[in-house]
Structure 1
Amino acid sequence: MKCPVCESESYEILKSKGKHSKELLLKCEECGNIYRETIIREKPVDVRIVISEFEKSKKDFVKLYPDEVLMVDDILDLDGKEVAVNSIEIKTSARVYRSPVSDIETIWASSMDMPARVGISVDFGGRITSKKVDVDRDFEFTVGDIVKMGNLIFKINSIKTIERKLRKGFAKAYVTKRVYGRPLEEFVRYNYDLSPNIV
């Protein structure tokens, strides 16, 4: 959208109204001219969405506008229920952080109504103890944290998220697939206790 006076494409939106066709009141950031533009939006399209609910997943479709840009962590309304976008698969089968809706093949999401279920693996030098815990979706696992789980105390040494493996930093529970740790002596002070969260 170019300014009719100086043809600059740099503008500020002062007002926007309408749903299918948007009437915009714009102010040119170069010369200060105020002008109107009308944008006709394309019809919404059905985009495949896979919603994970712990070990199960449900396939569905969500209506989105092709010119919208979707990002990981965006919240979508699916028949009155909120789901969080965990990953976006585009038509080339690549996973990306953000994409125009027109390029999306599948949206991977999780229900906001349920806690996050995270796998915990503790390595006793080749013998692995594995459990699953349900925690608040925004709970943060941090590499280096000392954790109690039942009669076991361990230190987190890595975190596997939907996108990658972390050897430092933290990850929110809703993007965490598995937490890896090594056991510590029982008398060590711990940061938090996951015992009540074991599934």
Structure 2
Amino acid sequence: MEDDSSEEEFVENVTDCPGCGQPCGHEVLRERKAGSGSNYLLKCDECEHIHTVQIREPRPIKIPFLLSEGANTVLVDIDVDEDEVLHIGDIFEYSDASWEINRVETRTANSRTKLVASKVGRANAIRSDVVMVRLTLTRGEFSDSDSIFVERETMYKAGSIMEHGGERWKIRAIHTGTGRTMSGRVVAHDIKRIYLHEPPRPEENIPKTPRERRQAWKEGRLGDNPNPVLPDAEKSGKPKQQRPGRRQKKKRL
């Protein structure tokens, strides 16, 4: 049985050919070292035109970077190839951390979305693998502000309980750049602020009546239950608990 699969053709030493006017494979006739690079004498595989190509390693230049991590900011000089193009949103490694470029300026301090390194006056970057999440902690009538540093993909859920400062707090709401949620989940790098309330003491939060238990179940205070069910007291046909001080009606004969 014949093999109908066609073999892939690999072309080596592809570069622009002055004779063909397009990228073609070439045969290397001679290589000569020149400074930090090399000069190559090439022969085109298509038109057999012979020409020289000079390849040089890009010269590294120092660019001032303003690196911000939370409230701390430092100015450092980082070596970058002079022909490299810096884009807003680019992520690079420096000092055992990841950084994301959020501003690129020309030598006249004009902002650009992208710029070749040789024309960059300064670049700003923020720590990208760790983010700062701001907190507002409310205890009674008093509120304090604080912040924490977490991995950028950490997930927070409004209505849940979290540990902070050795205490348990309830996430009352999560504020993002576009709004506020009191029940959803938000990833850390999208959070502008988390509002924390001191959770009620256990003795203040014990559901007593069937209605209170159902409500607590729906709110997740008795565990995560996507399909609330009736308490056993109501399933078995037992009478509902009466509120204290409420007069019961007598049946008429």
TM-score normalised by structure 2 residue count: 0.45
Matched, 1:105 2:113: no
Matched, 1:37 2:53: yes
Q: Which amino acid aligns with 2:171?
A: L
Of 62, 66, 69 in structure 1, the residue corresponding to residue 78 of structure 2 is 62
Matched, 1:75 2:92: yes
Structure 2 distance, partners of 1:66, 1:36, is 24
Structure 2 distance, partners of 1:128, 1:4, is 72
Shift of 1:89: 2.1
Aligned residue pairs, count: 161
Pick the structure with more strand per residue. 1
**Secondary structure of 1:93's aligned partner:** coil
Matched, 1:118 2:133: yes
Structure 2 distance, partners of 1:7, 1:23, is 20
Q: Which has the higher contact order (CA 8 A, sep 6+)?
A: 1
Q: Which amino acid aligns with 2:19?
A: V
Structure 1 distance, partners of 2:84, 2:17, is 23
1:146 corresponds in structure 2 to 158
1:118-197 correspondence to structure 2 within 5 Å: 118-120=133-135, 130-139=145-154, 146=158, 148=160, 150-156=169-175, 158-159=176-177, 166=178, 173=188, 178-179=192-193, 188=219
Structure 2 distance, partners of 1:57, 1:120, is 21
Summarize deviations over 1:163-194 as a string: whole Å, max 9, x none.
xxx459x99756x68247799xx96459xxxx
Matched, 1:7 2:24: no
Shift of 1:33: 8.3
Shift of 1:153: 1.9
Shift of 1:11: 6.7
**Secondary structure of 2:16's aligned partner:** coil
Shift of 1:44: 1.2
Runs of 5+ unmatched residues, structure 2: 1-14, 26-32, 163-168, 201-215, 222-253
Q: Which amino acid aligns with 1:101?
A: A
Runs of 5+ unmatched residues, structure 1: 13-17, 160-165, 191-199
Shift of 1:62: 0.5
Structure 1 distance, partners of 2:19, 2:220, is 68
1:89 corresponds in structure 2 to 104
Mapped contact 1:50–1:58 kept (Cα < 8 A): yes
Seq. identity, %: 14
Pick the structure with more helix per residue. 2
Between structure 1 and structure 2, the one with the greater Rg is 2
Q: Which amino acid aligns with 1:52?
A: S
Mapped contact 1:75–1:85 kept (Cα < 8 A): yes
Of 22, 41, 48 in structure 1, the residue corresponding to residue 64 of structure 2 is 48
